[in-house]
Amino acid sequence: MSIIILEGCDCVGKSTFAEKLSERTGFEIVKGSSFEISELGANGMFEHMMALLDRKNIIIDRFFYSNIVYGFMYNYPVMNIDQYLELCDKMNKKALVVYLTAPTPVLQERMEKRGDDMIKVDEIGFIKESYRDVMHGLTNPKMTLSLRTDGANFDMATAMVAEFVKLQETGMYIHNS
């Protein structure tokens, strides 16, 4: 397992986490889902994401979970259920999903400091709820680590994820089924 997928709401620390994890593992960071990638349309996004799952030693910053949350919220192209299920099946064989989260007030404060052209501070609560529903719904990932990023030590957390990935590659892990 040499694919790590980072998911979570805006301002949760995905980019910072990805950079630190990349430094620790040497894995390349790639975009899995974004407003720009959605311009490929549903089939184009599906092909893009399927191709990412054929790669090795990558950190995917956002994946189809983000497409579901933001696609429906902002009326961007979304894939069909069969595409999501096919992605989920392939992902579950090849990837670890790291779901980053933090309390809504923390995310709102970060958003106010950062600013954003697309997302509004008052949407953060809804986005978090949507992620919760999507992450535990039909496409629930089998191998998921959930990490809170408020007050988190990213060096320790990325070390833990890197070690977990090494264990996965050797077959020494606890399997969720």
pLDDT in tens, 84-128: 999 999 998 889 999 999 999 999 999 888 877 778 888 999 999
Flag whether pLDDT at 171 surpasses 70: no
Length in residues, the chain: 177
Could you tell me if residue 175 is inside a domain? no
CATH number of domain containing 155 = 3.40.50.300
Total domains present in the chain: 1
Q: What average pLDDT does the chain have?
A: 87
pLDDT band at 177 (very low <50, low <70, confident <90, very high): very low
pLDDT in tens, 41-92: 999 999 999 999 999 999 999 999 999 999 888 888 999 999 999 999 999 8
Whether residue 63 is contained in a domain is answered as yes
Task: Tell me whether residue 33 is in a domain.
Answer: yes
120 located within any domain: yes
Record the pTM. 0.89
| pLDDT for the residue 152 | 73
Distance CA 125, CA 105 (A): 9
24 — pLDDT class (breaks 50, 70, 90): very high
Residue 10 lies in a domain: yes
Q: Which domain holds residue 62?
A: 3-169
Per-residue pLDDT band at 154 (split at 50, 70, 90): confident
- Alpha-carbon distance of 168 to 114, in angstroms, equals 35
**Is residue 118 assigned to a domain?**
yes
Q: Are strands 28-31 and 95-101 parallel, antiparallel or unpaired?
A: unpaired
Q: CA of 118: how far to CAs of 15, 31, 80, 107, 121, in Å? A: 17, 18, 24, 15, 10
Residue 51 in any domain: the answer is yes
Question: By percentage, how much of the chain surpasses pLDDT 70?
Answer: 92
